[in-house]
């Protein structure tokens, strides 16, 4: 492997690595705007200039692969500093200095570089170039364009050409008056449209749903996994004061590189919907609020009294929850358990190698359920399952399958007592005799197994609303109330450890190593690019 010296630090990197990445490893941050690790290299912005010993001219680091023995100067070269200073002056010549009202502030590469390196003066005294009519334009359903801020890095264009493959965006006009538009002039309806705002280094493209909702620096980020489909894209839950504001992609070359589809991304705010805040018990047709203690004592009796017990689990639940459910309801109580699976809309995602991954169904953990040996059923078989008689029905997730909200399903459930976990208003609440408030993904912890076979961990962003508890904990409490001490495991990590020793699909895996990283403020991981 070639060895390079960057600002005095020697690093050894694989052949073909460019100087920006090599410098990153040497602990030297070379600024860049147009470069993005998952997009092609165009060398347009010219901020990444470095001095290479023996070369008369400065070179752009993004397009220069390392060669053995190369000596590179970035921060230590006065020539480089001057050149970058000049490029910054060019970029800021026409860029509006509207950071205070710009929603990208705090996560803007131009602003960051300006703050660390920039000067507060310019030679520019001319009238700034503007794009009347393009300052606040809705480019598509999710993207608001402010062309005045564009620094012509072409990242968004390359994204639609190389990643989403719609080639929807293009430059129109030429030179300093070139602007971003859809190729055909139609609305920008790319299924990955919001990623263009992620890759936009400045505030030229922003996400309509997130604009002006929260300043970027107030957000905390928690590693999680997209609940939208079986592909299992890695993401950050960006939240503040127990409210989820958005999902942003978390880098994982094997799954989603650093992209999210619009469908998954905009599930973020649905995590804030919490309508069930307390355990409820139906007495004479009326739901009454009870404490967790009361509920668990009563339920322990009901459950053990049931001669036939049936459980509708869900492929939206974590491996830990499914494992506890299987051990408690099937192994211990000899009940019947099914996991309904809904095919959902076909979705796809491009991984870091540029290959498309296709969704198998609409659930994040159907593969986990399969690996735990659970019975996966479609809507038809779910109906037949509910048609049989039982003393008690347990619904671990009313949103497990659309069938559960049909009138037919409700009629079948009315026949016998039903215990349901619930977060949002759902028709099953009308027929349930017990309703237990369950936490959203943002307050849960555990692992999902993607359809590609990756066991991926998600972490809790904040504590659940009201008295809600994560599903695994509800099962743990029930096991405790019933005196099943083997399942009285006090954390998802402990459940996972138990699972790893028992289950083939999980053997050899260690909780701590399942990735996810540590929660951070947004700035530390923003822009993989």
Residue 30: both structure tokens together? 């070379």
CB-nearer residue toward ligand FES: 83 or 435: 83
CB-nearer residue toward ligand FES: 41 or 493: 41
Reported as type and span, the H/E element at residue 144 is strand 143-145
Measured CA distances, 257 to 38, 252, 356 (Å): 7, 5, 11
Which value, in Å, is the radius of gyration of the alpha carbons in the chain? 27
Site string for other proteins, 60-79 (x = CB under 8 A): ---x----------------
Q: Least distance (Å) from ligand FES to the CB of residue 45?
A: 3
CB-nearer residue toward ligand FES: 42 or 410: 42
Q: Least distance (Å) from other proteins to the CB of residue 249?
A: 23
Q: From ligand FES, other proteins, none, which one binds at residue 32 (CB under 5 to 8 Å depending on kind)?
A: ligand FES
**Side-chain-facing half-sphere of 277: CA atoms under 13 Å:** 6
Cα distance between residue 19 and residue 62, in whole Å: 6
According to CB under 6 A, which one of 2, 43, 96, 141 is a site residue for ligand FES? 43
Contact in structure between 435 and 420 (CB atoms under 8 Å): yes
**Side-chain-facing half-sphere of 407: CA atoms under 13 Å:** 0
Longest distance between any two alpha carbons in the chain, whole Å: 88
Residue with tokens 């397009």: 63
**Side-chain-facing half-sphere of 500: CA atoms under 13 Å:** 15
CB-nearer residue toward other proteins: 192 or 210: 210
Long-range contacts from 410-414, C-beta under 8 angstroms, 24+ separation: 412/383, 412/386, 412/387, 413/386
35 binds ligand FES (CB under 6 A): yes
Contact in structure between 50 and 30 (CB atoms under 8 Å): yes
**Side-chain-facing half-sphere of 87: CA atoms under 13 Å:** 24
CB-nearer residue toward other proteins: 139 or 255: 139
CB-nearer residue toward ligand FES: 50 or 290: 50
Q: From ligand FES, other proteins, none, which one binds at residue 211 (CB under 5 to 8 Å depending on kind)?
A: other proteins
Site string for other proteins, 127-156 (x = CB under 8 A): x-x---x--xxx-----x------xx-x--
CB-nearer residue toward ligand FES: 45 or 479: 45
According to CB under 8 A, which one of 5, 9, 25, 94 is a site residue for other proteins? 94
Q: From other proteins, ligand FES, none, which one binds at residue 35 (CB under 5 to 8 Å depending on kind)?
A: ligand FES
Cα distance between residue 32 and residue 156, in whole Å: 15
Q: From other proteins, ligand FES, none, which one binds at residue 493 (CB under 5 to 8 Å depending on kind)?
A: none
DSSP letter assigned to residue 503: -
Cα distance between residue 253 and residue 256, in whole Å: 6
Cα distance between residue 482 and residue 484, in whole Å: 6
105 binds other proteins (CB under 8 A): no
| Residues 161 to 200 in contact with other proteins, rule: CB under 8 A | 170-171, 174-178
Other Cβ atoms less than 10 A from the Cβ of 440: the count is 23
| Residues 60 to 119 in contact with ligand FES, rule: CB under 6 A | 60, 62
With CB under 6 A as the contact rule, which of the stretches 41-49, 129-137, 166-174, 288-296 interacts with ligand FES? Answer: 41-49
Q: From other proteins, ligand FES, none, which one binds at residue 528 (CB under 5 to 8 Å depending on kind)?
A: none
Q: Least distance (Å) from ligand FES to the CB of residue 61?
A: 6
With CB under 8 A as the contact rule, which of the stretches 52-60, 195-203, 284-292, 300-308 interacts with other proteins? Answer: 52-60
According to CB under 6 A, which one of 4, 19, 32, 310 is a site residue for ligand FES? 32
Q: Least distance (Å) from other proteins to the CB of residue 528?
A: 22
According to CB under 6 A, which one of 5, 9, 25, 44 is a site residue for ligand FES? 44
312 binds ligand FES (CB under 6 A): no
Reported as type and span, the H/E element at residue 137 is strand 137-138
According to CB under 8 A, which one of 1, 10, 15, 86 is a site residue for other proteins? 86
Measured CA distances, 433 to 83, 111, 404 (Å): 72, 56, 16
Residue with tokens 């048609």: 387
| Residues 206 to 225 in contact with other proteins, rule: CB under 8 A | 208, 211-212
Residue 448: both structure tokens together? 């999902």
Smallest CA-to-CA distance from 459 within 439, 441, 437 is with 441
| Residues 307 to 326 in contact with other proteins, rule: CB under 8 A | none
Contact in structure between 468 and 438 (CB atoms under 8 Å): yes
Reported as type and span, the H/E element at residue 412 is helix 407-414
According to CB under 6 A, which one of 19, 22, 45, 225 is a site residue for ligand FES? 45
Q: From other proteins, ligand FES, none, which one binds at residue 57 (CB under 5 to 8 Å depending on kind)?
A: other proteins
Task: Kindly list the strands in the beta sheet with 520-521, ordered across the sheet, starting from the edge strand earlier in the chain.
Answer: 243-249, 234-240, 220-225, 520-521
Q: From other proteins, ligand FES, none, which one binds at residue 48 (CB under 5 to 8 Å depending on kind)?
A: ligand FES
> Crossing angle for the helix pair 109-117 and 78-94, nearest 10 degrees?
130
With CB under 6 A as the contact rule, which of the stretches 43-51, 243-251, 334-342, 350-358 interacts with ligand FES? Answer: 43-51
As a whole number of Å, the end-to-end CA separation of the chain is 24
Task: With CB under 6 A as the rule, give the number of residues binding ligand FES.
Answer: 12
**Site residues (vs other proteins, CB under 8 A):** 41-47, 49, 57-59, 63, 83, 86-87, 90-91, 93-94, 123-127, 129, 133, 136-138, 144, 151-152, 154, 170-171, 174-178, 208, 211-212
Residues that bind ligand FES (CB under 6 A): 32-35, 43-48, 60, 62
């Amino acid at each position: 492997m070639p060895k390079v010296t960057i600002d005095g630090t020697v690093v050894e990197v694989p052949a073909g690595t460019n100087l920006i990445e090599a410098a990153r490893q040497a602990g030297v941050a070379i600024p860049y705007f147009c470069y993005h690790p998952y997009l092609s290299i165009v060398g347009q912005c010219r901020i990444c200039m470095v001095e290479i010993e023996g070369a008369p001219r400065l070179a752009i680091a993004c397009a220069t692969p390392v060669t053995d023995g190369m000596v590179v100067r970035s921060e230590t070269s006065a020539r480089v500093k001057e050149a970058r200073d000049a490029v910054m002056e060019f970029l800021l010549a026409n860029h509006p200095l509207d950071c205070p009202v710009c929603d990208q502030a705090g996560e803007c590469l131009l602003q960051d570089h300006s703050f660390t390196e920039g000067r507060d003066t310019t030679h520019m005294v001319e009238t700034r170039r503007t794009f009347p009519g393009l300052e606040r334009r809705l480019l598509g359903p999710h993207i608001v364009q402010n062309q005045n801020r564009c620094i012509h890095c072409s990242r968004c264009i390359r994204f639609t050409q190389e990643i989403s493959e719609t080639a929807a965006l293009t430059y129109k006009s030429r030179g300093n008056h070139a602007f971003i538009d859809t190729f055909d002039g139609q609305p920008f309806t790319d299924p990955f449209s919001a990623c263009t705002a992620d890759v936009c280094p400045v505030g030229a493209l922003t996400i309509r749903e997130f604009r002006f909702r929260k300043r970027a620096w107030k957000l905390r980020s928690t590693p999680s996994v997209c609940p939208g489909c079986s592909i299992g894209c890695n993401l950050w839950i960006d939240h503040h004061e127990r409210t989820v504001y958005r999902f942003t992609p978390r880098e994982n070359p094997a799954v989603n590189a650093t992209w999210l589809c619009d469908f998954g991304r905009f599930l973020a705010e649905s995590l804030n919907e919490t309508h069930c805040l307390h355990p409820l018990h139906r007495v004479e047709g009326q739901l009454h609020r009870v404490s967790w203690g009361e509920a668990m004592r009563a339920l322990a009796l009901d459950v053990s009294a049931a001669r036939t017990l049936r459980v509708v689990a869900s492929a939206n639940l974590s491996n830990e929850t499914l494992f506890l459910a299987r051990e408690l309801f099937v192994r211990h109580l000899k009940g019947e358990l099914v996991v309904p699976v809904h095919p959902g809309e076909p979705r796809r995602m491009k991984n870091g190698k540029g290959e498309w991954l296709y969704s198998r169904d609409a659930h994040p953990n159907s593969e986990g359920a399969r690996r735990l040996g659970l019975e996966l059923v479609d809507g038809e078989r779910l109906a037949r399952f509910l048609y049989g008689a039982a003393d008690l029905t347990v619904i671990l997730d009313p949103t497990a399958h659309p069938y559960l909200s049909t009138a037919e399903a409700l009629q079948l459930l009315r026949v016998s007592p039903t215990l349901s976990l619930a977060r949002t208003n759902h028709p099953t609440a009308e027929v349930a005799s017990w309703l237990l408030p369950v936490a959203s993904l943002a307050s849960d912890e555990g692992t999902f197994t993607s359809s590609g076979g990756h066991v991926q961990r998600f972490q809790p962003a904040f504590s659940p609303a009201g008295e809600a508890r994560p599903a695994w904990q509800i099962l743990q409490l029930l096991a405790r109330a019933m005196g099943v001490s083997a399942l009285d495991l006090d954390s998802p990590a402990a459940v996972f450890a138990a699972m790893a020793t028992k289950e083939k699909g999980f053997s050899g895996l260690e909780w701590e190593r399942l990735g996810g990283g540590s929660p951070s403020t947004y700035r530390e991981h923003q822009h993989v690019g």
